[in-house]
Structures are given as C-alpha cells and as structure tokens.
Amino acid sequence: MRRQSIAWERAAEVRDAADGWRRAGAIGAPTHEAIKNAYPDPCVTPSAVWRVLTAVMVTAVVLCSFGAFALAIRPREVGLSLLLWLFGGACVVATERLEGSLRLARRGAAGAAAFWGIVLFLGGLGQLLHEIRAISGEDALRLFLLTSALTWAAACWRWGSPLFAGLSVASVFVLLAQVPFGRTLWIVVGAVLVGVAARHLDDGALAPSHRRAAMVVLLVAVAAMYVALNSYSLDQDLLHELRPLAPQRVVPSTVLFAGAAVATALLPLGVLAWGWRSRRPVLLDAGIVLVALSLVTLRYYVHVAPLWAVLLVSGAALVALALAVERALRRVPGGEQAGFTTDALFSDDRGQRVLQVVAVAGTLTPAAAAAASAEKGFVPGGGASGGAGASDRF
Amino acid sequence: MNPDVVAAIARLSREGTLSSEQAALFSRVARRELVSVRVEIRALLYLGVLLLTSGVGIFVAEHHADIGRWAIAASIAVASSACLAWVIRSAPPFSWGEVESPSVAFDYVLLLGLLLFASDLAYVEAQFTLLGPRWVHHLLVVASVYVVASYRWDSRVVLSLGLSTLAAWRGVSVSVMAHSLGAGGAGALRVNAVMLGLLYVIAAVLSVRLDRKAHFEEIFGNAGLLLLFGGLVSGVMLSDLGWGTWLVALLVLAAAVMWISFRVGRPAYFAQAVLAAYVGLVRLVMVPFSGQSTGLPLLLAALLGVGALVLVFVAYKRMPGR
C-alpha cells in the first residue's frame, strides 16, 4: 500500500473510534472535534450504501464495456485472452489512479475495479492455458491456481482488501487439493498460516486493512483445517471434489476415521477456547459455527434422537445458554465478567440491526399464499422454518 | 488490540484532550480487555428461535396423529403464552417514541412467542378449518398480530416479519427459502406488490409526519420501495406486452424517489431508485437490437452506467446528512 494511504487509514481508525465514543456520549462535541483535528483524514469516506452502489455501477460499466468490445471484435482463442488482459490491465491502471485520489480512494470504485481487474486477468490466463495443447489439464489448473493465489495476494498487499487475502488463501488450498496428500497439506499449511496470521493480528507495523486481511487468512485457514479434519469430509472425501482429474479415492481406515472424529470434536472447542482466552469475538463466532457443524456431523452418524427432538433440544439449549450468559453478565457489578459485557460499548449498532431484520424476514417469513396449492395443509414450523403458513404440505 | 487507537489514546491523554478516566476506559476497549458479546448473544438467540420453531413444526407434522389435535394445539398455545407472558412482564411502558429494549433477549423471546402463535394458528386452521375456503386469510391475521405487537413492544424485527407476512398473504414472498413472486398469475402478483409497496411507503411517510414510531420509517420505507421497484422492474423485464408502460411508471417513480430521498437524506432509498432505473433503461437500450449480435447495446448500457456513477457522485456530494 502507498505510505500515504496507510497514514490516512490509521487516522480513519482513530476517527471511527472517536465517533463511537461520541455516539455513546463518552466524550463531548469539543473533544470529538479536537480528536478530528489531531487526526485529519483528507479522504472522502461514504457510508456502506454509497460504496456498494458505486461498486455495483462500476461492475456494470466494466462488464458491459468488455461485452461490447468482445461482441464487436469477436476475438478467437488467444485474441480473447489478450482482450481480457487488456481490460484487466485497464482496471488495474484505473485502480491505481483511484487509490491515489483523496476524493475517490474509499468510494467503492477502486475496490470494484481492482476485483474485476484481477478476475479478467485470471480469465485471460485460464483461456490461454486452455488453448495451449502442450500443457496438460492438471498442470494448467495448477498453474492457474498458483497464479491466482499470487495475484490476489499481491492485490491485497498493494490495495489492502481483506477479501483479496481470502481469495488468495482459498486458491492456495484448492491448489494443495490437486497434489498427493492434499488433506495432510491442508492441515499442515493451515496450521502454519494460522500461526503466521495470528502473530500479525495486532501488529502495529501493518496497515489496518492488512491486519484485517490477517484475520481473514486466519479464518480461512481454520476453516480449511476443519474441512480436512472433519470425519464427514474424510468419509465422503470432499477434497476429492476439488480434484476432478485425480484417480479414484481410497476408503479411509477405521483408525484414520476415529482420529478424524476426535479432531472434529476437539478443533471447534480449541477455537472456542482460543477466542475466549484472547477475547476475540470473531474467533468466538468461528468456534460457535464449528461447534454447530460438528454437532450436525455427530447427528449424521449417531441418531441419538429424531430430528424434531434434536432441533427442539438444541434450540432450547441455545436460547437458554444465551439467556444465562446475558443474565450472568448483567447481574455482576459493572456488567462485566472476565472482560466480557453485553453493553454495545462504542460500536455502531445500526449495521447489526439491518442484518437482524434481513435475517429474520429472510428466513422466518412464510411461503407466499399464492404459491401454495388451493388444497390446504400445515407446513412444519408455519413457513419454511417458522412464521406461519398453511399449504398443501402435510 | 487496535494498536493505532491505543497509541492515539495515549497521545490524546498526554495532550489533555482525554481525561485519565476516559483514556482508561477507551484503552481497555481498544486493548480488548473489555469486549462486547452482544452480537454473539443475539446470534445464539436467533439460531435458537430458528431451531425451536423448525423442531415444533416437524414434531407436529410427524406426530399429530399419535398425540391428538387438541393436545398439540394446546401445548403450542401454552408455550407461546409463556413467552408472551414473559414479554408482557418485562416490557417497559408503551410510548409512540423509540423505547429501549429491556434486554438483548427481549426481541427474540417476543419473536419466539409470536412464531409459536402463528404456528398454532396455522395448525388450528389446517385441522379445524375455521376460515373454510378463505383459509389463506389466516396470514392476514398473523401479519396483523405481528404489526400490533411490533408497535406495542417497539420491535423492528417483528415489524419486518409482519410486513413480509402481509406480502406473503398477497402472494409475494421475500423468504430466501420460498418462491418470490410465486406460482400465481404474474400480472396479479405484480399489482399486489406495487399496491402493497405503496401502502408501506404511505405508512413510512405517516409515521414521520404524525411522529408515531418515527423510527419505523426505515423499515416501512425500504420494504415498500423493495416491493414497488420489484414489481415495476419485473413488469419491465418479464412482461412482453405493455413493458413500455411499466418502464414509464418505473422511471417516474425512480425519479421521484431520487428527488425526495436526496432532499431528506436517505441514501438507501436513493440507491434502490438508481439501480431500478438503471435496470429499466438497460431493457430500453436492448430492445431495438433484439435478435442482433452487436455490441452496441452493451456499450450503451456501459455509458448508462457511467451516467449513473456521475449521478451517484453528485448526489453524494450534495445530499444532506448523507
């Protein structure tokens, strides 16, 4: 990243924190103003709605322009690669210009241009590799994935997008799935990446967006390790799905399966414990998701109870756990225990509220009445998974 | 830890901008010595409610013959009443203004109670055919209960569920697990979506004008515009006959929404209007070239995109309270 961009990002971090303090009423307007003056950020930073809107329109412009030229020129094989690279290059140049501009750097246009620049470049490479007969399909795929990993990593380093870091690491893991002992490599490389990323999460020498990228790398690596270790993944050989040209899979031994079962149970608990000890909410969230996945895996192999009982018990357990934690934290003096609290502290609740509304309306709304048959019946849970609804399914 | 904020707090404290008490508290948060688990508790509650309602549904579907209709209806009613009783007991007094939830769990216990009520009503209707051939109207009853409850207990979540259930009653579902614009007549569904959208937009305006739960305006407004633009865009894109009329209506509405949202400072409304107008105009530039393999319509679509970008930049610069 440009040195200047890093300095602006650091100032933006402080100003964001100050906005939170002000919102919570912890500082007055004069102090807020003094902090903003002490940490000037000349960049124009619109809210997420503006950035998403800009990114969508930039995407439309890039894809429509490319489509128009492709239809007008109708290039063949190598020509299509060149056209893709030409547009990819134009997007990269545009990104560089946008990133250097105080008015345009953080408006969503640079991020979208960078993303499509890399996608078009990789598309051109994929097309070219497909056309070169001397390179076998497997080698072409490996070369493509290696280039993808390096390009996304370079883009993350240059422009600081955590999404690019995630795509780079994902490319690395898909590449590792192509070689023999891919599962072992997923575990080993995953562990190495977790170790490296964990050391840089709070590294003040890195730009704020690079620290966020380190967190994304850590999460993708943990997810990859979990997929490699999970007993269902081993049983069904899910990694084999990423290696279409590989020979037929070998059925895992009982010992290996037992080891995977133990790892399926232990890894989520380890992540949860790490999140608890380090008080990193993201790791706690990841631990909760992995525990849920492990319980689903357990239910797949061990039918302890009918599905409705499992759902009822786990639902009630989750609600009870949440209520107990909230109650415990609210009742202690100061509303804080072991460094955890239910107070919003200085975070902005608005984004969470939107997510909450979208999640509830998106998953608990009943099926449309007109979509249902004229014949009436009861739909489990009312709608698809709650709500209410009578339809023909009963 | 956020090292940039930690360093800034130390500097601001040294310079006297922050008092030592303020600096100590802010520093604890920046160093992650004090962390909020509010989001995690909400996520657990949401998942718990989702699993519970799904479990109840499957249980009822599988065992209604073994247990008996009355027993099932009564047990769901008891569970729903227990949740709602807890809500009534812990709720703060009613106000037309914004009321702070007494706890993080409050919204979700309310949600669970209402979802169980809705499940019970659907089951009772399926078993005892109270509404007869008008059985689909039980969704109207459920939606009305949701909306009333959202006002009484000041819940945005329940209001959004009420509005989406009302839309489902008219055949339009926003559920990710169900068909949007389901199998009914597309024209009738479109009209339903537009009418309902208008109704929600009017509710948004009234909630602000009359200062009655003015903070619900965003929910009403966004749901209304989503339905309005969804219906109109679907008319432009999918209707073979009369798509021009739909396009004119779409462009007029989009222009009006852009103008109003620009004046009152609502970027989300503005964004929906820009996207809907863009999609409609893309159809317009594509039509003269239908059946031809030329890049010109795509070039025009790209130019329209550039125009939209300019509009977005100008609007951002001038929109108040953006």
Tens of pLDDT, residue by residue over B277-290, are: 999 999 999 988 88
Last residue within a domain, chosen from A263, A279, A301: A301
Residues B117 and B14 in one domain: no
- Contact state of B161 with A109 under an 8 Å Cβ cutoff: no
Phi-psi region of A25 (alpha: psi -120 to 50; beta: other; left: phi over 0): left
CA distance A285 to B44: 10
* pLDDT at A371 > cutoff 80: no
Contact state of A311 with B58 under an 8 Å Cβ cutoff: yes
User: Would residue B58 count as lying in a domain?
Assistant: yes
Question: Is the Cβ–Cβ distance between B122 and B165 less than 8 Å?
Answer: no
Q: B53: closest CA among B84, B74, B79?
A: B79
Considering only CB atoms, A362 lies closest to which of B2, B122, B176, namely: B176
Residues facing residue A378 across a β-bridge? A390
Shared domain check, B51 and B24: no
Residue B182 has what pLDDT? 47
Do B96 and B124 have their domain in common? yes
Contacting residues of B for A58, CB less than 8 Å apart: 305, 309
Identify the residue among B6, B44, B179 best suited for mutation to test binding to A, counting A beta carbons within 10 A and taking the highest. Answer: B44
Which of B 3-62 lie inside 8 A of A, CB atoms?
A: 3-5, 7-8, 11-12, 15, 17-18, 22, 25-26, 29-30, 32-62
**For B256-304, what is each residue's pLDDT tens digit?**
999 999 999 999 999 999 999 999 999 999 988 888 888 899 999 999 9
Q: Is B240 on the interface with A (CB under 8 A)?
A: no
Distance of CA A328 to the CA centre of its chain: 31
User: Does one domain contain both B109 and B16?
Assistant: no
Question: Are B58 and B1 found together in one domain?
Answer: no
Provide the residue count of chain B.
322
How far apart, in Å, are the Cα atoms of B103 and each of A342, A351, B110, B215?
9, 19, 12, 19
* Confidence band, pLDDT 50/70/90 cuts, at residue A389: very low
Beta bridge partners of A390: A378
Q: Give yes or no: residues B13 and B49 share one domain.
A: no
Residue B2 lies in a domain: yes
- Percent pLDDT > 90 in chain B is 64
- On whether residue A18 sits in a domain, the answer given is no
Same domain? For B18 and B133 the reply is: no
pLDDT number for residue A382: 42
Closest CA to A166 of A127, A115, A126, A124: A115
What does the DSSP 8-state code read for residue B195? H
Contact A322 B8 (CB under 8 A): no
Is A281–B125 a contact, with Cβ atoms under 8 angstroms apart? no
Question: What average pLDDT score do residues B112-126 get?
Answer: 90
The token pair that represents A243 in the structure block: 């290696």
Residue B306 pLDDT > 80: yes
Residue-wise pLDDT for A232-276, tens only, equals: 999 888 888 887 666 666 777 888 999 999 999 999 999 999 999
Looking at the fold, whether B24 and B57 belong to one and the same domain comes out as no
Q: Tell whether the model's pLDDT for residue B180 goes beyond 70.
A: no
Asked if the structure places residue A380 within a domain, the reply is yes
Residue B134 and residue B125: Cα distance in Å, rounded?
Answer: 10
What pLDDT is recorded for position A377? 52
User: Can you give the pLDDT at residue A374?
Assistant: 45
Please, which pLDDT band fits residue A197 given cuts at 50, 70 and 90? Answer: very high
CA distance to partner chain B, nearest, from residue A127 (Å): 21
Listed range (B46-50, B133-137, B166-170, B288-292) with the worst mean pLDDT: B133-137
Which DSSP state fits B136?
A: G
A 171-200 residues inside an 8 A Cβ radius of B: none
Instruction: Quickly list DSSP for B258-301.
Output: HHHHHHHT-HHHHHHHHHHHHHHHHHHHHGGGTT---SHHHHHH
pLDDT tier, A383 (very low <50, low <70, confident <90, very high otherwise) = very low
Q: Is residue B279 part of a domain?
A: no
Determine, yes or no, domain membership for B10: yes
* Cross-strand partners of A336: A341
Within a domain: residue A333? no
Q: Where are the alpha helices (DSSP H) in chain B?
A: 3-14, 20-30, 38-67, 69-90, 106-128, 138-152, 156-169, 186-209, 217-238, 243-264, 267-286, 296-318
**Residue A294 sits in which domain range?**
156-301
**Domain range spanning residue B133?**
37-169
A120 min Cα distance to partner chain B (Å): 17
A394 in a domain, yes or no? yes
Does the distance separating the beta carbons of A60 and B45 come in below 8 Å?
no
3-state secondary structure A207-257: CHHHHHHHHHHHHHHHHHHHHHHCHHHHHHCHHHHHCCCCCCCCCCCHHHH
Report the alpha-carbon distance of residue B258 to residue B275 in Å, rounded: 11
What is the DSSP secondary-structure string of A132-172?
A: -TTS-HHHHHHHHHHHHHHHHHHHHHHH--HHHHHHHHHHH
pLDDT for the residue A232: 93
| Averaged confidence pLDDT in chain B | 89
Smallest CA–CA distance from A62 into chain B, residue: B302
How many separate domains does chain B show? 2
Whether residues A283 and A168 fall in one domain: yes
Q: What ipTM was assigned to the predicted interfaces of this complex?
A: 0.88
Same domain? B80 vs B30: no
Does a structural domain hold residue B96? yes
Chain A residues inside the 8 Å CB shell of B157: 356-357, 360
CB-based contacts of A64, cutoff 8 Å, min separation 6: B298, B299, B301, B302, B305
- Are B119 and A330 an interchain contact pair (Cβ–Cβ within 8 Å)? no
Shared domain for A237 and A365, answered yes or no, is no
pLDDT digits (tens, 9 = 90+) for B16-71: 999 999 999 999 999 999 999 988 898 899 999 999 999 988 888 888 778 888 88
In a domain, A93, yes or no: no
The pLDDT tens digits of the residues spanning B186-237 come to 788 888 899 999 999 999 999 999 999 999 999 999 999 999 999 999 999 8
The confidence score (pLDDT) of residue B10 equals 94
Q: What angle do CA A26, A31, A37 make, to 5 degrees?
A: 135
Comparing alpha-carbon positions, the chain A residue that sits nearest to B272 is A53
Q: Is the pLDDT of residue B177 over 50?
A: no
Q: Is residue B240 part of a domain?
A: no
Token pair in block for residue A301: 């192999």
Judgement on whether residues B79 and B156 belong to the same structural domain of the protein: yes
Q: Which of A181-190, A376-385, B112-121 has the lowest mean pLDDT?
A: A376-385
Residues B137 and B80 in one domain: yes
Q: Is residue B162 a part of any domain in this protein?
A: yes
Q: Tell me, yes or no, whether A236 and A369 share the same domain.
A: no
Do A387 and A265 share a domain, yes or no?
no
CB contact set of B21 (below 8 Å; sequence gap of 6+): none
Residue A372 covered by a domain: yes
In a domain, A112, yes or no: no
- Reported confidence tier of residue A137, pLDDT bands at 50, 70, 90: confident
Rounded to whole angstroms, the Cα distance separating A103 from B10 reads 30
**Does residue B132 lie in a domain region?**
yes
Domain co-membership, A239 together with A374: no
Residue A392: predicted pLDDT: 38
Per residue in B60-116, pLDDT (tens digit) is 888 877 888 888 889 999 999 999 999 999 999 999 999 988 888 899 999 999 999
B153 sits in which H/E element: none
pTM: 0.87
The number of distinct structural domains making up chain A is: 2
pLDDT at B188 (0 to 100): 81
pLDDT at B5 over 60: yes
Identify whether the C-beta of residue B231 lies closer than 8 Å to the C-beta of residue B205. no
Between chain A and chain B, the number of residue pairs with CB atoms below 8 A apart is: 402
Residues B28 and B54 in one domain: no
